[in-house]
Amino acid sequence: MTLLYSDVEEELRAAVRALLADRCPPSAMAARAGEEPLYDAGVWKALACDIGVAGLLVPEELGGAGASPREAAVVLEELGRGVAPVPFLTSSVMATKALLAAGTDAATELLGPLAEGRTTAALAVSFAASPYAAAPDTVTASPRAAARDTVTAEDGTLTGRVTAVAGAEAADVFLVPASGALYAAEATGVQPSVSLDVTRPVAVVTFDAAAATLVAPDLGPLRAALELGAGLLASEQLGVAEWCLATTVGYVTERRQFARPVGSFQAIKHRLADLWLAIVQARAAARNAADAAATGADTATAAAVAQAWCGTVAVRAAEECLQLHGGIGMTWEHPLHLFLKRAKAGEIALGTPGDHRDALTGAAGLPAPA
């Protein structure tokens, strides 16, 4: 196991970073923040087809790059650093993982177009769904959501709806948990919902007697996809935190007060040093989760550790960035609010930090606090 980045990973990072800097910098995102939709099909096409990120996790014999979750994690770090509005996590990581884990002919047929970037997929579950949910027929964020978000399968069709689905606006096909199995279907309706994170909108997805194809006879592939998504989401949160720290250090170095840079005051130095230490630990946790997913070594524990730590660190970094930028951090024109919203939304996605800590205590056999 190594937490260091390989030369190939650094080359991939450089390509993604250069494309995002040219086509989708945070300042441009802030300028478009009031527009609908924010999803950028042009940037996604360039990432998916020109760089080939859409097929990173797909084996070469199926038309993909045959890379590992480590490379996908590097892409997510850069997407987090740019709050890029593209469906890489939902389609190229989570939906692709579900299809790979299913391993059926129906699943394999969907992987080729996904790898080429010709189609995009999404899981028809709430983005707040926890990998540890015990509901048998669907995977939801809570018992209340389970009663609300129900899709049933009957005679090869799906009927029902799911709320708070991420990546829905770009999805050509949905992977839908219904009646204890996993189906592939096109939605009959996608209604955008109010989302805290405008760079990753969510929607209500409706199926009204929609024709469906059985992808897997159980929900094992779906849970594997949620677990991988949670583990690699930590890398995106790492990218958010690193952008916030770097931007803050740059600002307090230039901003002057009492004839000296603001960053020269000891109180500011200590805050940023503490934040740097937290981010270094987050990088270790995120890289460990990606490496575990690549090697198959105790992936559940590594993902839980990463999510229990990285989500909180990303929020803390964004909040420190906001405070230390003073007034300009509060303006709509500055892109900082996009990072804070991405961090806040990501913290409760795919299980809260508390869900992941509970999973860790359960795995370790530790009793819950009285």
Mean pLDDT per block of 10 residues along the chain (370 residues) reads: 88 96 89 74 91 95 94 97 95 97 95 93 94 62 63 92 93 94 96 89 94 95 95 97 97 92 93 97 97 90 94 96 87 91 95 91 74
Task: Look up the pTM and report it.
Answer: 0.93
Between CA 363 and CA 146 the distance in angstroms is: 25
Predicted pLDDT at 261: 93
Predicted pLDDT at 111: 95
**Collapsed DSSP state (helix, strand, coil) of residue 95:** helix
Q: Please name the residue that has the structure tokens 């995106």.
A: 236
DSSP H or E run through 263:
none
Neighbours of 364 (CB within 10 A): 8
Predicted pLDDT at 36: 64
88: left (phi over 0), alpha (psi -120 to 50) or beta: alpha
Neighbours of 186 (CB within 10 A): 13
Between CA 258 and CA 260 the distance in angstroms is: 6
